[in-house]
Amino acid sequence: MIEYKECKRLFHLKTREFSYVIQILENNLLINRYFGKKIKYFSDDNKIAYQDRAFSPNPTSKDRTFSLDTLPLEFSSNGLGDFRTSAIEVSNEYGTALDLKYKSHRIYQGKDYLKGLPASFGNEDVVETLEIELYDSLSDVTVVLSYSVFEERNVITRSAKVIAGKTAIHLEKLLSFTLDFPHKDFDVHTLTGRYGYEKEWTKTPLTQGKYSIGSIRGASSHSRTPFIALASPEATEQSGEIYSAHLIYSGNFTAFAETTAIHTTRLGMGLNDEKFRWVLEPGQEFQSPEAILSYTDKGFTGMTRDSHEFIRHHLTRGTFAQKERPILINNWEGTYFDFTEDKLISLASEAAKVGIELFVLDDGWFGKRNSDTCSLGDWVENREKLPNGLKGLAKKVNDLGMTFGLWFEPEMVSEDSDLYREHPNWAIQITGRGHTYSREQLVLDLSQDEVCDYIIESVSNVLNSANIGYVKWDMNRNITNIPENQANHEKHEFYHRYILGLYRILETLNQRFPNVLFESCSGGGGRNDLGMLYYMPQAWASDNTDAIGRLSIQEGTSLIYPTISMGSHVSAVPNHQVGRITPLETRGNVAMLGNLGYELDLTQLESSELEEIAEQVETYKSIRQTVQFGDYYRLQKTDNTYAYNLISKDKSQVVFTFVKILSQPEAPFIRVRLEGLDPEATYYCEKLSASFGGDELMNIGLTIPYVQKDYFSLQYIFNKK
C-alpha cells in the first residue's frame, strides 16, 4: 500500500482505485506530486514545471522559478512565500511563519488511535500508516503528518499533530490537511440546508476565488456538514472523477476550495480557526481531528459506495455496528409532553401488535417537564406521569415483547431546574453578562471535568435504574457566551475543549453500556456528522417528517452516510411540520429507504391504517438486510420524481422505490433503469406477479404506471429465483 523510493525520495500510496504521491525535494520541502486514478509506477520523469512568476516570492535569490506560492505543497504554512490559505499558523517569539521541512518518516502496519478524538480504525491486515515528521528549526516546532491507507476501502485518512519544542507556542490554526491540485476544473459539492431541511446536496462551479463552508456554532450544524467534494463538471452518477473529503469531528470546522491566479486549486479541511487558539507549553502536543480522503472515477455512485462501506466498517463501532437495527416507535409527535403511563402503554401495545420492536419515550419523562421551558439537567423520572417509574414502564414495554428506549438531552440545563439552582456556574456564561437563550435553555460547560462527570453519572444512574436498550441523545441549541475572555485572554480553547469533553462522556458511556443502542439527534440533523457516528451508529436525520420534504434530506444524508445510520420515521397527516397530506403508503416507502421508525399516535388510527402499518413492518423486516447493509443506487432525479434501488451484497434481493411528487396532465411515461443487478439472474416480483432478467431490468428498465395522484409512490421487491 505504501512504497518509498529512497533514490527519488518518493512515497507512493496506493488504494484500490487511486494513487497518492508525495515527494521530498532537495531542500526538504514536502510536496504533492500526484493524487488521482491509480498508476502502477510514478517515474518522476514527468518533472515539476518551475516557472518564474511575477510577485511569487523565492526562498533563494539564486532561483526565481522556485516559489512556495506556486508549488503543490503537502502541508502549507504561510508567511514565507505561499499566499494561499495555510494549514497551520503558530505565533511565538519568532513571529508567525513556519519553515516546515522533512525530518524523518516511519511506515507501519495498522493505525494508532487519536488521543481523545474519534477516528477510523482497522487492523494490521487492512491499513498501513505513514508518518512524516516536519520540523521548523528556528522555532523548534514539529508537525507530524499521518496518512493511513485503507487499500481495499479506497480511502486514505490524514491528520496532523503539532509538538512544541523548547519554547511555548500559540497554535492559531491547524487544519487536518491541505491538498493542491494542478488545475481548477471542478465543481464543489457540499451538503447545506437549514433546520428541517438538512443536507441539501449543493453544487457550485469553482471559479477564481474561494468557496468555503464551516460552522462556529459549537456543532457541525443543520446547514453545514463536514464534507466537501471536488468533482469534474461532467461527473454523473455512473462516471466522472470525484475527490471527496470528510472530517471526523462534531464542532466548529472549516472546509474550502481555493483557486489561484495560475488556475491551481487548494482543498483544505479541519478545525475552524475562528475563535480558536491553543497554548502549547514546551513539549506539549496538539492533535488535529482526522480527515477521510477518497478518489473515484466512478461518479457519485462510486463515491457513495466508498463512503458507506468505509463508515460502516471502519468508523461505526460496538455491538450494533454490523447488526440489523430495530424498528422503533417514538412517542414525540404522537403525544409531545402530554402523556401518562397508561397512554404510553396503550401506544406501546398497538405498536407491539403491528410488529414494532422498540418503544422510545421521548422528551418529558423527567423533573417537572411538561413543556420545553424547564427541568433539563434533572435526570430523575417524573413519578406523577410515571407512577411505576422508568423501571415499571420498561418492564411493561418489555412484557409486550419490545425493547425500551429513552430520550436525553444531557448537554443542556434549564434555568428552571434543580441543577441550575445548585450549580449556576455550570452553565456556559460570561460573568457580568446576561445569558443568551435558545429554546429557553442554556448549555452546560463541558470544558469542566466535573460537569462531564455529572453527566456521565446522571445518565448512567438512569440507564442502570431500568432495562433501557436504546438512547436518543439530543442537543437542541448552539453555544454562545463563551467565557474564555476571563479564564485566560490568550486562549480560545473553549469550543474544542467542549467537544473533547463531549467525546470523553460518550466514550465512557459506550464502554459502560455496550448493549445500549445510541442514536444522536440535534433538533434532527443539527450535529449529524462522523464524530457523532463514531459513538452513536445512527442519527435522527431531521425533525421534518413529511415524506416529500424527506426526499431531499434523505438523498443528501445518504449521499455520504450509510442508510443504516439514517433514522427515518412515518408520521401522522396532516404533517406537523408542513401540513401536507401524503398517503400512508408513500410515507412508508420513503421511510423504508433508511432505518425505519414510526412517530405517531397509533391509538388514533383506523384499523385499516394499522393493518397497512403491520404490512409495512413485515415488509421492512423482509428487506431490512438489503436496506441496511446493501448497495444503494440513486437511479433518477427530476424536479418531480425520485427513484432508487437498494441491492443486497449477494445481489439476491432488490428494493426498487419510486416517488412522484405532483400529478401532471398528459405526462410522459417514465422509464427507470435499475442498477447493480446480476445480469444473468432472473428476479421475481410478487407485487407484479412477474419475472424479469437482471439484464432486462438494467437495460430496458421499468415503466412506471400512469397514476393521476399527487405524492404517488411505489416499492417493488425483486428476489432472485
Compute the least distance from the CB of residue 224 to ligand GLA, in Å.
18
**Residue closer to ligand GLA, measured from CB, 540 or 716:** 540
The residue sitting closest to ligand GLA, measured at its beta carbon, is 363
Q: Does 118 sit near ligand GLA (CB under 6 A)?
A: no
Compute the least distance from the CB of residue 427 to ligand GLA, in Å.
19
168/488 Cα distance (integer angstroms): 15
Query: Is residue 483 reached through a cis peptide bond, with omega within 30 degrees of 0 on the bond before it?
Result: no
Compute the least distance from the CB of residue 334 to ligand GLA, in Å.
12
Compute the least distance from the CB of residue 587 to ligand GLA, in Å.
17
Burial-class residue 470 by CB neighbours within 10 Å (0-12, 13-18, 19+): buried
Burial-class residue 64 by CB neighbours within 10 Å (0-12, 13-18, 19+): middle
Q: Does 642 sit near ligand GLA (CB under 6 A)?
A: no
**Catalytic residue chosen out of the listed positions 69, 543, 546, 631:** 543
Compute the least distance from the CB of residue 187 to ligand GLA, in Å.
32
Point out which span in 82-90, 269-277, 396-404, 518-526 binds ligand GLA (CB under 6 A): 518-526
Residue in 99, 543, 601, 631 binding ligand GLA, rule: CB under 6 A: 543
Angle between helices 547-560 and 299-314 (to 10 degrees): 80
Contacts of 582 (CB under 8 A, 6+ apart): 546, 547, 548, 573, 575, 711
Compute the least distance from the CB of residue 92 to ligand GLA, in Å.
44
C-alpha count within 13 angstroms, C-beta hemisphere, residue 84: 32
Task: Provide the 10 A C-beta neighbour count for residue 601.
Answer: 18
Helix, strand, or coil (residue 695) = helix
Burial-class residue 535 by CB neighbours within 10 Å (0-12, 13-18, 19+): buried
Residue in 334, 524, 549, 556 binding ligand GLA, rule: CB under 6 A: 524
**Residue closer to ligand GLA, measured from CB, 13 or 361:** 361
Q: In sequence order, what are the beta bridge partners of 473?
A: 408, 520
Q: Which of residues 682-701 bind ligand GLA (CB under 6 A)?
A: none
Residue in 20, 135, 407, 494 binding ligand GLA, rule: CB under 6 A: 407
Contact assessment for residue 372 and residue 332, using Cβ atoms and an 8 Å cutoff: no
3 state SS for 336-403: CCCCCHHHHHHHHHHHHHCCCCEEEECCCCECCCCCCCCCCCCCCECCCCCCCHHHHHHHHHHHCCCE
**Catalytic residue chosen out of the listed positions 136, 187, 378, 474:** 474
Q: Which amino acid is at 260?
A: T
State CA 60 to chain mean position distance: 44
**Residue closer to ligand GLA, measured from CB, 334 or 524:** 524
**Residue closer to ligand GLA, measured from CB, 524 or 701:** 524
Point out which span in 216-224, 418-426, 521-529, 561-569 binds ligand GLA (CB under 6 A): 521-529
Using the 8-state DSSP alphabet, how is residue 579 labeled? -
Helix (H) or strand (E) holding 497, with range, is helix 494-512
128/148 Cα distance (integer angstroms): 6
Residue in 521, 564, 566, 596 binding ligand GLA, rule: CB under 6 A: 521
**Residue closer to ligand GLA, measured from CB, 276 or 332:** 332
Point out which span in 455-463, 520-528, 633-641, 713-721 binds ligand GLA (CB under 6 A): 520-528
**Residue closer to ligand GLA, measured from CB, 370 or 436:** 370
Q: Which of residues 346-405 bind ligand GLA (CB under 6 A)?
A: 362-363, 372
Q: Does 523 sit near ligand GLA (CB under 6 A)?
A: yes
CA distances from 122 to 161, 227, 320, 495, 561 (A): 20, 22, 17, 29, 19
Compute the least distance from the CB of residue 538 to ligand GLA, in Å.
13
Using the 8-state DSSP alphabet, how is residue 327 labeled? P
82 is catalytic: no
161/494 Cα distance (integer angstroms): 19
608/29 Cα distance (integer angstroms): 71
Compute the least distance from the CB of residue 596 to ligand GLA, in Å.
16
**Residue closer to ligand GLA, measured from CB, 152 or 372:** 372
Contact assessment for residue 247 and residue 289, using Cβ atoms and an 8 Å cutoff: yes
Interface pattern 461-500 for ligand GLA (x via CB under 6 A): -------------x-x------------------------
Contact assessment for residue 672 and residue 702, using Cβ atoms and an 8 Å cutoff: yes
CA distances from 464 to 319, 549, 627 (A): 18, 38, 33
436/481 Cα distance (integer angstroms): 7
Binding residues for ligand GLA, total number by CB under 6 A = 12
Phi first, then psi, for residue 496 (nearest 5°) are: -70, -40
**Residue closer to ligand GLA, measured from CB, 407 or 598:** 407
Compute the least distance from the CB of residue 517 to ligand GLA, in Å.
16
Point out which span in 140-148, 519-527, 675-683, 695-703 binds ligand GLA (CB under 6 A): 519-527
474 is catalytic: yes
Compute the least distance from the CB of residue 598 to ligand GLA, in Å.
13
**Residue closer to ligand GLA, measured from CB, 222 or 496:** 222
**Residue closer to ligand GLA, measured from CB, 333 or 350:** 333
Compute the least distance from the CB of residue 526 to ligand GLA, in Å.
8
Q: Which of residues 294-333 bind ligand GLA (CB under 6 A)?
A: 332
Contact assessment for residue 244 and residue 294, using Cβ atoms and an 8 Å cutoff: yes
**Residue closer to ligand GLA, measured from CB, 332 or 339:** 332
Q: What angle do CA 181, 226, 492 make, to 5 degrees?
A: 100
Please list the active-site residues: 474, 543
Point out which residues bind ligand GLA (CB under 6 A). Answer: 332, 362-363, 372, 407, 474, 476, 521, 523-524, 540, 543
